[in-house]
Structure 1
Amino acid sequence: MNRLSLNQWTTRHWSVPEAVAGCRRHGIEAIGLWREPVAEHGLAATVKLVRDAGLRVSSLCRGGFFTGSTWLDDNRAAVDEAAELGAACLVLVVGGLPGVVPGEALGARVSRDLAGARSQVAQALDALVPHAEERNVRLALEPLHPMYAADRAVLSTLGQALDLAEPYPSERVGVVVDTFHVWWDPEVERQIARAGDRIASYQVCDQLMPLPADVLLGRAMMGDGVIDVAPLTRAVTAAGYAGDIEVEIFNAGVWGADPDEVLATMKRRYATHVVPALG
């Protein structure tokens, strides 16, 4: 249980101080932070709060969206924030097709060049890695389920993410294994083994069925959906990953529940669905 981490988005309506206090009440030793609430509370104040609470920062989410036009300054800032927080990694959601904005209707300037968008991601990563090296920050490429390829991530498989990461040292560019995004892939266990020490973050949750109208909110607490978390956990463990394990859930019902009840349920489900597979 000492590896369990609360990804802040699971209790989305909690501020940084509330999430930190919740972790302490429930004996959770790590937290995955998001940049927006950190900015709201203040970076320096968040650094002090987390350190005084004795929590590890398992990740900072997120950088990326490299297929837009203003990505560089924001990603350098994200690297700097991750360095100040001592985050184990900066999660990169790489962005969708140029011109496609999440949640907005398609405009006239949408690109349908998927290969070109993936090339942009590779070029952006090459530009960002030196700054990450200077700040000793590990970048973590997160492949997203293919249903998000147009608007959020043109990386859809762990294999694609590893192909992008391989030119760089594993301590500088790794990958995120998120059960929601990779469970469907028939190659996933082979790619997890291939990833080895490039696994920078392991995130767990389940997938609802049927999916809601907003598929972004299709995550669920472990055991409430269709994902068998145990084989993925065993594969990640066999690959050598020994870091924190985040529970990250985007779900309107979870967000509307009492956050303390959410954390209590999260701990029970983690004990049932994750811990036995850790060996």
Structure 2
Amino acid sequence: MSVLERFSFNHATAKFWDQREAVEACARTGSGIGLWREPVQEMGVEASAKLVQDAGVQVTSLCRAGFFTDPTPAAIDDNRRAIDEAAALGAPSLVLVSGPIPEGGTIDSAREGVKEALAVLAPYALERGVTLAIEPLHPMFASDRCVVTTLNEALDLAAPFTAEAVGVVVDTYHIWWDPEVWRGIARAATEGRIASFQLADWITPLPAGVLTGRGQLGDGCIDLKRYQETVDATGFGGPIEVELFNDALWARPGAEVFAETRAAFANALA
């Protein structure tokens, strides 16, 4: 299998591109797609499922759920709906961003909230054939987006559950800095918990909008090829998503961004 056969285009890379057009581009090139809940809901879950099924496009993940560091009933209900949406779309994994430190809380109490929410949601996800994929985010996002910051921390949270119910996301943008990352990848593979593998590059200096400053593959300092070789050596042969939050990319036509990203993927992993 050539590396391009494993390419999956995360729709967030061309955030404002019509979902139908993005799916059609993936169909023409034999690419997978990572979908996001907002465009799916805008089109309708059933209509979105029919779109990808008719096009013969593999949905590699659904983004995103989580934000349950303060696990209120409303937050749990929304996560259950996200699991149902992933199942309807045929997405094998639902990406979880754990959430921020709630007002009046601490990072420790927030992490306890993540544990509580997983205990409630994991059985529900398992029944519906969806893996909850915990995504650790770079520590700069710990206070306002995600209190889970390392692959090993995500694996510790997943440990009480079967690998079919809870796995992890290996996202280069968020974990490249961690000196323990290679051991973390090996551990994730041993435990069968690599639910999603995503690529983005880290550019320097960081743009003013850090959240939307992910670099195109090959434009930054991450050794993307090493990540691919390391993950592949564990026996993972699944799709590789490219997920870029980047204002400059979002301002361009989606078809142009898709073509550029696919070419950059091939070059980075050649």
143, 148, 151: which one aligns with 1:155: 148
Q: Which amino acid aligns with 1:97?
A: I
| TM-score normalised to structure 1 length | 0.92
170, 173, 178: which one aligns with 1:177: 170
Q: For the Cα contact (< 8 Å) 2:8–2:242, is it kept in 1?
A: yes
Q: Deviations over 1:205-234 (max 9, x none)?
A: 111211112210110111111211111111
Q: Which amino acid aligns with 1:12?
A: K
Q: Deviations over 1:218-257 (max 9, x none)?
A: 1011111121111111111112211111000000111112
Q: Deviations over 1:30-85 (max 9, x none)?
A: 10000000000000000000000000000000110012333100000000001111
Aligned to 2:16: 13
In the alignment, structure 1 residue 84 sits paired with structure 2 residue 88: yes
Compute the displacement of 1:258 (Å): 2.1
Pick closer, same or farther for the CA change 1:128–1:81 going to 2, 3 Å: same
Q: Which amino acid aligns with 1:66?
A: F
Aligned to 1:75: 79
Q: For the Cα contact (< 8 Å) 1:195–1:239, is it kept in 2?
A: no
Measure, in 1, the Cα distance between the counterparts of 2:164 and 2:128: 13
Aligned length: 263
Compute the displacement of 1:116 (Å): 1.1
Q: For the Cα contact (< 8 Å) 2:217–2:268, is it kept in 1?
A: yes
Compute the displacement of 1:24 (Å): 2.6
Aligned to 1:132: 125
Q: Secondary structure at the match of 1:136?
A: coil
Aligned to 1:107: none
* Aligned CA-pair RMSD: 1.1
Q: Which amino acid aligns with 1:67?
A: T
Aligned to 2:39: 37
Compute the displacement of 1:22 (Å): 2.1
Q: Structure 1 vs Structure 2: percent identity of aligned residues?
A: 53
Q: How does 1:197-208 map to 2 (within 5 A)?
A: 197-208=192-203
Unaligned runs of 5+ in 2: none
Q: Which amino acid aligns with 1:57?
A: V
Aligned to 1:123: 116
Measure, in 1, the Cα distance between the counterparts of 2:129 and 2:257: 34
Measure, in 2, the Cα distance between the counterparts of 1:267 and 1:19: 13
In the alignment, structure 1 residue 145 sits paired with structure 2 residue 149: no
Compute the displacement of 1:149 (Å): 0.3
Q: Which amino acid aligns with 1:126?
A: A
Q: Secondary structure at the match of 2:5?
A: coil
| TM-score normalised to structure 2 length | 0.95
Compute the displacement of 1:15 (Å): 2.1
In the alignment, structure 1 residue 209 sits paired with structure 2 residue 204: yes
Aligned to 2:228: 233
Measure, in 1, the Cα distance between the counterparts of 2:216 and 2:129: 33
Aligned to 2:266: 271
Q: Which amino acid aligns with 1:143?
A: P
Q: For the Cα contact (< 8 Å) 2:64–2:95, is it kept in 1?
A: yes
Q: Secondary structure at the match of 1:224?
A: coil
Q: Which amino acid aligns with 2:196?
A: S
Q: Which amino acid aligns with 1:232?
A: Y
Q: Secondary structure at the match of 1:2?
A: helix
Q: Which protein, 1 or 2, shows the higher relative CO under an 8 Å CA cutoff with sep ≥ 6?
A: 2
Compute the displacement of 1:29 (Å): 2.4
Q: For the Cα contact (< 8 Å) 1:29–1:54, is it kept in 2?
A: no
Measure, in 2, the Cα distance between the counterparts of 1:267 and 1:28: 11
Compute the displacement of 1:261 (Å): 1.8
Q: Secondary structure at the match of 1:151?
A: coil
Q: Which amino acid aligns with 2:255?
A: D
Measure, in 2, the Cα distance between the counterparts of 1:181 and 1:189: 14
Aligned to 1:24: 27
Aligned to 1:168: 161
Measure, in 1, the Cα distance between the counterparts of 2:101 and 2:114: 11
Q: Which amino acid aligns with 2:120?
A: A
